[in-house]
Amino acid sequence: MKRRQFIGAAAAVCAGAMLPQAADGSPVAMPVDLNWRSDVIKTIARNRAGRMPVVTGVSIKKDGSEIAIVGDDHHVAIYDMATEAFTHEINAHHDWVRSAVFAPKGSQLATAGNDRTLRVWSNGNYETSLFTRKHDDAIIQLAYSPDATKLATVGFEKSLRVYDAKTGRVDQEMTCACPDNHAVAFSNDGAMVAAAGRCGTVRVWGLATGRMMSEVKAHRQRVRSLQFTADGQLVSVSDDRMVKVIDPKTGVVDSTLPRQASKLFSAQLLSGGMLATGGSDNQIRVWKLDSGQEVGVLRGHTGTVSTLAFEQGVLVSGSFDTQVRVWQVGAGVVTQPLERRANQQWRGLK
């Protein structure tokens, strides 16, 4: 084979390796671009070098009025959607802030990160925290229960801690499958909590008893995000490029989306039965969960899409490119479904 032919063949193989694959390993058609309207929020450079922070966490308030943005600059920035300006800056953490979550009810914002500190704030008053709790290791992810009475934490330790969100008392402590956990979520009825991390094993506990209900080795690599659907199924995404839907009570994997083209760092359930995933290919992919069909792709970020949040018809994405994008879900969406091969491998949600 001539050198030119070899290089061309090698390039084709590499390109094929990066294409999404169906559950049986066969390639699928390239997705179409979605034309959802988006605005860019530029983060603030706070160091002498003028470098803007890598974004590792975003949360949008339930009424859609504010966005909390955190990253490697140790700050929490509050962005007002109406005035399109940053209104508050929390400078209480002393290392990389990994997670910020608005409570779904009431008036709380929880923040945590590499400084091993959980801080809970009252919305609108970010000067003094309601309570602070110190962990032995970094805290990676936070989650509020649907009624906002409980707050769960996971990180670089085996413990999943469930706090009383009002008093800061630890009500329950569960043992995770590994000491490096990046994902935690409550079920929509508040009856279950799930966690997962580096080993790819997902564990689910019943909150009434504190006992483990199920355990499944769902992924070959680190789980980055967990989301409960409205009908009680559990969606997990991983570095292994897979999205799986799990029955949390039995631990059975009910469905698997086609393997994606990059490592997955984030996931967010949207309205209309859609799921958005963000990964190391700098793109956001949107799926229909009932069919496993890819609707299309949102492009614009130039770095890994590390975090996603959704409220009031708005999808917020944060990236290693130091930017936050605000997408109007469905605005200008492509209406023709994208045809894919081998989707019969997707059995859909029960």
H or E segment and range at residue 73: none
What gap in Å lies between CA 61 and CA 148, rounded to an integer? 13
Could you give the CA distance from residue 9 to residue 350 in angstroms, rounded to a whole number? Answer: 43
Do the bridges between strand 264-269 and strand 253-256 make them parallel or antiparallel, or are there none, so unpaired? unpaired
- CA–CA gap between residue 148 and residue 264 (Å, rounded): 28
Which amino acid, residue 24? Answer: D
Answer whether residue 13 shows pLDDT above 70.
Answer: no
Region for 348 from its dihedrals, namely left if φ exceeds 0, alpha if ψ lies in -120 to 50, beta otherwise: left
Q: Under 8 Å CB-to-CB from 324, ≥6 apart: which residues?
A: 40, 41, 43, 55, 58, 67, 69, 79, 316, 317, 318
Gyration radius of the chain's alpha carbons: 20
pLDDT tens digit sequence for 113-122: 999 999 999 8
pLDDT in tens, 215-256: 999 999 999 999 999 999 999 999 999 999 999 999 999 999
The angle subtended at Cα 124 by Cα 120 and Cα 129, nearest 5°, is: 25
Q: How far apart are CA 129 and CA 245, in angstroms?
A: 37
Quick: pLDDT tens for 162-196.
999 999 999 999 999 999 999 999 999 999 999 99
How far apart (Å, rounded) are the C-alpha atoms in residues 275 and 330? 13
DSSP state of 320: T
Tell me the pLDDT band of 339, cut-offs 50, 70 and 90.
very low
Strands 223-228 and 234-238: antiparallel
The pLDDT of residue 124: 73
Q: What is the DSSP letter of 272?
A: T
Nearest to 226 by CA among 258, 257, 269, 191: 269
* Domains (range + CATH), the chain: 38-345 (2.130.10.10)
Q: What are the phi and psi torsion angles at 14 (to 5°)?
A: -60, -45
Mean pLDDT of the chain: 88
